[in-house]
């Protein structure tokens, strides 16, 4: 299984290479390079809100996480409230979360083996690794997991230049590291095939050496 994050090292050449060779999870805007992906994942409610119209046409599995660590209520939603995200429904409109599988939030550290919940690592890339586990992956390849800006200050592959918006990449790396040992204990191999990365808790190997 291949997880495509949106770091600046993600490129069309690598994305095209994995097509047809593995189950592919596109994370956030990585869907731009892999509209054919098997799964799209985002932890970001704003992202889903901005893309729900285009995602209606996506035929694969759509997954998100509940932003709160509280359990999803089992009570029926009141009239006028969406049963998926418990937000008030616009008049005569579908909610943005329709058709999206919502996972329970199991916190930021470790790994969840509960098929209804994922550990988030405080970022979508780490969350997607836990989603891959629930989908039955025994080997997970990472692409675009830069976990830091590139030499030009770009944070995403689609940035045209340095961005003033900052992200707590150090925190992301620390929390992702807490997933490494539980993955190993579960017999799941994770290889970081990103062309450039600051994430060092998984072995780094060139993509074409591990996926023929």
CA–CA distances in Å: residue 120 to residues 6, 19, 129, 188, 197: 16, 26, 9, 18, 19
Residues 160, 209: contact at Cβ < 8 Å? no
Q: Give the pLDDT confidence of 106-150 residue by residue, as tens digits.
A: 999 999 999 999 999 999 999 999 999 999 999 999 999 999 999
pLDDT score at 96: 65
Q: Has residue 45 got a pLDDT over 90?
A: no
Structural domains in the chain (count)? 1
pLDDT score at 53: 82
CA–CA distances in Å: residue 172 to residues 123, 179, 192: 6, 11, 15
Q: Give the pLDDT confidence of 140-197 residue by residue, as tens digits.
A: 999 999 999 999 999 999 998 877 777 889 999 999 999 999 999 999 999 999 999 9
pLDDT score at 72: 53
Alpha carbon dihedral 91, 93, 94, 97, in 10-degree steps, equals -70
Give mean pLDDT, residues 87-99.
65
Give mean pLDDT, residues 48-55.
85
pLDDT score at 143: 98
Give mean pLDDT, residues 27-50.
94
Q: Has residue 92 got a pLDDT over 60?
A: no
pLDDT score at 128: 98
pLDDT score at 87: 63
What band does 46 get if pLDDT is binned at 50, 70 and 90? confident
Range of the domain at 146: 2-210
Whole-angstrom distance, CA of residue 56 vs CA of residue 100: 10
pLDDT score at 155: 93
Alpha helices in the chain (DSSP H): 12-18, 45-55, 124-134, 169-185, 207-210
pLDDT score at 64: 92
Q: Give the pLDDT confidence of 63-91 residue by residue, as tens digits.
A: 999 877 655 555 665 666 665 666 666 65
pLDDT score at 106: 94
**DSSP result, 26-43:** EEGGGGGT-TT-SEEE-S
């Amino acid at each position: 299984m291949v997880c495509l994050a949106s770091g600046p090292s993600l490129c069309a050449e690598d994305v095209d290479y994995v097509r047809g060779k593995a189950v592919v999870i596109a994370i956030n805007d990585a869907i731009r390079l892999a509209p054919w992906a098997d799964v799209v994942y985002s932890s970001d409610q704003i992202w889903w809100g901005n893309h729900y119209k285009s995602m209606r046409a996506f035929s694969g599995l759509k997954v998100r996480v509940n932003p709160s660590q509280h359990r999803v209520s089992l009570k029926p939603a009141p009239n006028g409230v969406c049963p998926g995200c418990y937000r008030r429904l616009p008049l005569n409109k579908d909610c943005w979360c329709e058709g999206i599988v919502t996972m329970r939030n199991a916190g930021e550290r470790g790994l969840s083996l509960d098929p209804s919940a994922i550990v988030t690592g405080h970022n979508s890339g780490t969350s997607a690794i836990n989603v891959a586990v629930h989908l039955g992956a025994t080997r997970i390849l990472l692409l675009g997991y830069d976990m830091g800006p590139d030499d030009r200050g770009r944070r995403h592959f689609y940035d045209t230049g340095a961005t003033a918006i900052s992200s707590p990449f150090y925190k992301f790396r620390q929390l992702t590291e807490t997933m490494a040992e539980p993955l190993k204990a579960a017999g799941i191999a994770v290889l970081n095939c990103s062309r450039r990365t600051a994430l060092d808790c998984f072995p780094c190997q060139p993509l074409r050496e591990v996926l023929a």
